Amino acid sequence: MADILNNIWNWLIEPFNSLYAGTLVRNALWELLIISVIGGVVGTYIVLRGLVFIVDALTHAIFPGVVIAFLIGANFFLGAFISALAVALVIALVARNRRVSEESSIGVIFTGAFSLGVVLLSSQRSYGRSLKDLLFGDILGITTADLWVTAIVGLLILAAIFVARKELLLSSFDATMARAIGLPVARLDLFLYLLIAATVVVSLPAVGNILVLAFLVTPSATARLFTNRFYKMMPLAVGIGMLSSLVGLYLGYYANVAGSAGVVVVATAFFIIALIISPHSGLFVKIRQRHLWKQRLRQESLEVRA
């Protein structure tokens, strides 16, 4: 028995202690845990406000900024953040103008910007490899310096949300009332977009342009299926993100598959499980409810006949 436990323990800690990969895997885990925290908190707003498509656009639209920073050797975060700022501003304007068909203009802008990034990058000789890293992230390439950047920016994002948590909640739930009591709703929207942009940018090196959306949306969407309370949804999303990260990393290490994609696959699996077993809206509950209804109807019709 002790032997088995010992084996399991060794299996669990091996990725983090291994001679060649230990530091890399440890950094990867920390990075993913931090991303899970900010992703879960910011993602809760994204999911509840129905901003998923807009954030998808945002992640793609900052791609050319990332590529330009990479090509001219400028600081990655700077390039990404400048383009994220520009894009967040444009999106905040577009999202407020109800007369423009929001979806089509966002669709146009983000595929266009994304292609621009690919065009710029394709002039490079090492095009294939860099494209892969930029799109899917390089989770095992995270340095201690990267970790610090993510941790500090993450703390700032959480502090900013804490300061405005009541106002963000009100303007997300009932923008009319928020305006009525004189809250600066437009500025709050912009503030939220900037926090989302910052979250995307710090997550990019680890998880890449394509996958970052899953880190923001999937855990929160899963959490929504398990709770009807806003302030429970956030920690739940964070927990689900962390668990997915851990399981995904093991998957990456032992099955020798891409790390960040592995995390996304695990998170998606959790979401599908949640769809089935959710206590409020899951498949099981629905089937049971229908069964109970049928039973009651049958009983009532029998009573009427009798």
Partner 1 sequence: MSKTGPLTAASPPLLKIEGLSVAYGPVLALQNVSMELLSGSLVGVIGPNGAGKSSLLKGILGMVPTSGKVTISGQSLSQARQRISYVPQRSEVRWDFPITVEEVVMMGRYRHIGWVKFPGKTDREIVAETLEQVGMFDLRKRQISQLSGGQQQRVFVARALAQQGDIMLLDEPLTGVDTTSQEVIMALLEKQRDDGKLIVMATHDLNTAARECNFCCCINHRLIALGSPEQIFNPDILAATYGGNVLTVNTGNSAAGATLIIQ
Judged by the rule CB under 8 A, the positions of this chain that interact with partner 1 are: 48, 162-164, 166-167, 169-170, 172-177, 179-182, 224, 227-230, 233
Identity of the residue, 32 or 188, whose beta carbon is nearer to partner 1 in the bound complex: 188
Closest CB to partner 1 among residues 146, 189: 189
CB of 179 to partner 1, least distance (A): 5
Nearest distance from C-beta of residue 33 to partner 1, angstroms = 25
Q: Closest approach of Cβ 47 to partner 1, in Å?
A: 10
Six token digits for residue 193: 């977009």
For partner 1, the closer CB: 127 or 293: 293
Give whichever of 148 and 293 is closer to partner 1, judged by the CB atom: 293
Token output for 23: 């530091």
* CB nearer to partner 1: pick between 40 and 79: 40
Least separation, in Å, of the C-beta of 209 and partner 1? 30
Residues 6+ apart with CB under 8 A from 151: 34
Shortest Å distance, C-beta 182 to partner 1: 5
* Cβ 101 to partner 1 shortest distance, Å: 17
Query: What Rg value do the Cα atoms of the chain yield, rounded?
Result: 22
| CB of 126 or CB of 228, closer to partner 1 | 228
- Answer yes or no: are the C-beta atoms of 220 and 233 closer than 8 Å: yes
Between 102 and 167, whose beta carbon lies closer to partner 1? 167
Of 202, 156, 266, 216, whose CA–CA distance to 30 is shortest? 202
